[in-house]
Amino acid sequence: MSAIVLEAVRSPHTEEPARSLPTGRPRLVLVPTGRDATRASRAARLTRPPVRLTRFGRLVVTLLVATVVALLGVGLAGQLASATGEPHTVTVESGQTLSGVAARELPGVSTADAVVELQVANGLSSTALHAGQQLIIPGR
């Protein structure tokens, strides 16, 4: 069994004789149904040409990939730079404690461990500080 469908001609078929209808003029086409339709749809899926990108499309895809790679590179470089920061100095102000400075300057470390790191980096034997003292904050 077959069905007949009215379809606009997009391009002339090669299997027809030399006489062809002008393009753009509608014509009747036999459409397979049932088992024939299943076979025809499978064959059509297998014979589809691969997706092709125009020059502009390739340019857009290339720019998108380059942008993503650049952003990932900048983000990774920023993470590495902050992870391997150089030591810097802080001047102690009146009323500050070593644990307060440790909590503020080394936020990713527990306060007790940060205090010990500051004591080792600065050669301190106690937690006592005085105003104007320079403390070396180790890099992270």
Average confidence (pLDDT) over 62-81: 88
Residue 83 has a pLDDT of 56
Residue 111 lies in a domain: yes
| CATH code: domain of residue 105 | 3.10.350
**Chain segment 19-69, per-residue pLDDT in tens:** 555 566 778 877 777 887 788 777 777 776 777 889 999 999 999 999 999
3-state secondary structure the chain: CEEEEEEECCCCCCCCCCCCCCCCCEEEEEEECCHHHHHHHHHHHHCCCCCCCCHHHHHHHHHHHHHHHHHHHHHHHHHHHHHCCCCEEEECCCCCCHHHHHHHHCCCCCHHHHHHHHHHHHCCCCCCCCCCCEEEECCC
Residue 2 lies in a domain: no
Residue 100 lies in a domain: yes
pTM beyond 0.75, yes or no: no
List the domain range (segments joined by +) for residue 103. Answer: 88-137
Using 50, 70 and 90 to split pLDDT, how confident is the model at 92? very high
